[in-house]
Chains A and B, each alone.
Chain A
Amino acid sequence: MFDKVLVANRGEIAARIVAALRTHGIASVAIYSEADADAPHVRAADEAVCVGPPPVAQSYLDQDAVLEAARATGAQAIHPGYGLLSENAGFARRCRDAGLVFVGPTPEAIEAMGDKAQARATAAAAGVPVVPGSDGPIDDDVAAAALAERIGFPVLVKAAGGGGGIGMQVVKKADRLGKALQSCRDRGRSSFGNDAVYLEKFVEQPRHIEVQVLFDAHGHGVHLFERECSVQRRHQKVIEEAPSPFVETMPGLRAGLTEAALACARAIGYRNAGTVEFIVDPEGHFYFIEMNTRLQVEHPITEAITGVDIVGWQLRIAAGEALTLQQDQLSIDGHAIECRLCAEDPALKFIPRPGPLGRFEPPALEGVRVDAGVASNSQVTPYYDSLVAKLIAHGPDRAAAIERARAGLDAFVIETLTTNRDFLRGVLDTDTFVAAAYDTGWLESYAKGR
């Protein structure tokens, strides 16, 4: 195992990884920008190195500064967390070249899943269902029109390098297709430096369900069941749960999803923790969307229902240890729900609300875990994303988990800062959420109709 690991991230996930390092008796090195000198992840770590001014491009994304911090402190490995450098194959390669272990998959595996068109082809070749559409980028408008007619409108035009809803358009009628192709190409070129686009069938009333996998460097892997992530706004997850209440009602669906996820991972020789995302229609047909080759924000709900320490296994796998988990020994214990607490104002179209934070006291309740990136009497700055904490509620069944999530949100002391806490609390009370009768479009319409 490692003696010292650098955490190349900030906020709640950096604090979570520092805590895992402590549990495993490994010394931790935090990095921070000038805006984060007093942040919880810095205070919790054994050592900390300032890597630059507040903007991420000049600090957390500055590969030279991060690698120099690792060298100067004698860290043997770098845990990238999520976002930032976590899916940057070039950075993973530079770590390897510098003799550092990147806690994640190989650069080749990151690349194989990083380009969406290539990822789709890889999944299809592994026998995993993909949404009917173009097998790879489509640059000919005439061919695109013919394909759209064949698979049927509505269709989705997507930029190959896109994500998070950027560079994506739904086209309902044939006469709108040409314009959408052009605008996605323009957006792809300006935002991602890649103007390739592809076309696929738009699945109506879809659910977003994903499968967590863990593979060691020796080819042994397991899945840790699924997470239901359909409660989203603007393609950003807001509340996640595990297991998926929908999957529970569909015989054979869990087996299909988990086998498909394992097949995707095997197809690229995957190692470490990864998540395979699927879109699922109301009849239970599922299609591969993408594989996230990193730790996921919502990993704690899987930890809650399986008892598996995912970050701990990431470190052990990166150190070359064999994964000792066996599939037939894994089972689902109860139900877990995660609420993402963000500094935003639901009354003003969810605009970001950085600002001063007074008392910040997470609830101490049975079955409630809070992963926080902020502390009392601090400043939430405008430089980074608005997630301040995740509240994870675990109970013996779904009703108990919902009850604990409600109690947790109610007991959370958050002074001064504007957050979406009351909005989250309201969602947990809706008939639609309680009945798990939502799809990925529901929360947006609920938010507008309040």
Chain B
Amino acid sequence: MADDIKAHITGTVWKIEVAAGDAVDEDDVLIILESMKMEMPIEAPFDGTITEILCAEGDAVQEGQVLARIDED
């Protein structure tokens, strides 16, 4: 199963912790957003492989925007 990794808040991409092709475990931190001086991590919904990164560090993103894609193992 493939899934979209979406921004849960409006903010800025502070750090991208993974790259396309990386294998990740459920709850691994994939991307850290920053909004209103708070860091908000986005975690992997399940064990899988990152297939695509659709944002860059420093990008302004809207709530609901797709930031990455993941394939379930």
Say whether B40 contacts A352, CB under 8 Å: yes
Say whether A355 contacts B37, CB under 8 Å: no
- Residues of chain B lying within 8 A (CB to CB) of residue A383: 12, 36
- Given A352-B11, A354-B10, are A384 and B40 also a contact pair (CB < 8 Å)? no
Query: Does residue B9 face the partner (Cβ distance < 8 Å to A)?
Result: yes
Say whether B8 contacts A351, CB under 8 Å: yes
Q: Interface residue count for B (Cβ, 8 Å)? A: 12
Say whether B37 contacts A351, CB under 8 Å: no
A65 to chain B minimum Cβ distance, whole angstroms, is 20
Query: Does residue A353 face the partner (Cβ distance < 8 Å to B)?
Result: yes
- Residues of chain B lying within 8 A (CB to CB) of residue A55: 12
- Bound Cα distance from A354 to B8, whole angstroms: 12
- Bound Cα distance from A386 to B12, whole angstroms: 15
B2 to chain A minimum Cβ distance, whole angstroms, is 26
Within 8 A of B (CB), among A332-356: 343-344, 351-355
Q: Which residue of B lies closest to A349 (CB)?
A: B40
Query: Does residue A46 face the partner (Cβ distance < 8 Å to B)?
Result: no
- Bound Cα distance from A385 to B36, whole angstroms: 4
Say whether A384 contacts B37, CB under 8 Å: yes
A333 to chain B minimum Cβ distance, whole angstroms, is 35
Say whether A386 contacts B36, CB under 8 Å: yes
Say whether A353 contacts B37, CB under 8 Å: no
- Bound Cα distance from A344 to B40, whole angstroms: 13
Query: Does residue A382 face the partner (Cβ distance < 8 Å to B)?
Result: yes
B15 to chain A minimum Cβ distance, whole angstroms, is 12
* Mask: chain B, 30-58; 1 = CB below 8 Å from A; 0 = not: 00001111101000000000000000000
B7 to chain A minimum Cβ distance, whole angstroms, is 11
A186 to chain B minimum Cβ distance, whole angstroms, is 16
Interface residues of A, dominant DSSP: loop
- Residues of chain A lying within 8 A (CB to CB) of residue B10: 354-355, 382
B42 to chain A minimum Cβ distance, whole angstroms, is 12
Say whether B37 contacts A385, CB under 8 Å: yes
Within 8 A of A (CB), among B13-27: none
Q: Which residue of B lies closest to A350 (CB)?
A: B38
- Residues of chain A lying within 8 A (CB to CB) of residue B9: 351-354, 382
- Residues of chain B lying within 8 A (CB to CB) of residue A351: 8-9, 35, 38, 40
Which among B36, B38, B60 has the highest number of chain A CB atoms within 10 Å?
B36
Q: Which residue of B lies closest to A387 (CB)?
A: B36
- Bound Cα distance from A352 to B8, whole angstroms: 10
Q: Which residue of B lies closest to A342 (CB)?
A: B36
Within 8 A of B (CB), among A135-155: none
Say whether A354 contacts B11, CB under 8 Å: yes
- Residues of chain A lying within 8 A (CB to CB) of residue B37: 384-386
A243 to chain B minimum Cβ distance, whole angstroms, is 30
- Bound Cα distance from A352 to B9, whole angstroms: 7
- Bound Cα distance from A55 to B9, whole angstroms: 17
- Residues of chain B lying within 8 A (CB to CB) of residue A352: 9, 11, 35-36, 38, 40
Q: Which residue of A lies closest to B38 (CB)?
A: A352
Within 8 A of B (CB), among A377-430: 382-386
- Residues of chain A lying within 8 A (CB to CB) of residue B12: 55, 382-383
* Mask: chain A, 35-69; 1 = CB below 8 Å from B; 0 = not: 00000000000000000000100000000000000
- Residues of chain A lying within 8 A (CB to CB) of residue B40: 351-352
- Residues of chain B lying within 8 A (CB to CB) of residue A355: 10
- Bound Cα distance from A351 to B35, whole angstroms: 9
Q: Pick the 8 closest A-B CB pairs, nearest first.
A: A352-B36, A386-B36, A382-B35, A352-B35, A382-B11, A385-B37, A354-B10, A382-B10
Q: List 7 A-B contacts (CB under 8 A).
A: A351-B38, A354-B11, A382-B12, A382-B35, A382-B36, A384-B36, A384-B37
Contacts A354-B35, A385-B37 aside, 4 further interface pairs with beta carbons under 8 A come to A382-B12, A382-B34, A384-B36, A386-B36
A interface residues (Cβ-Cβ under 8 A, vs B): 55, 343-344, 351-355, 382-386
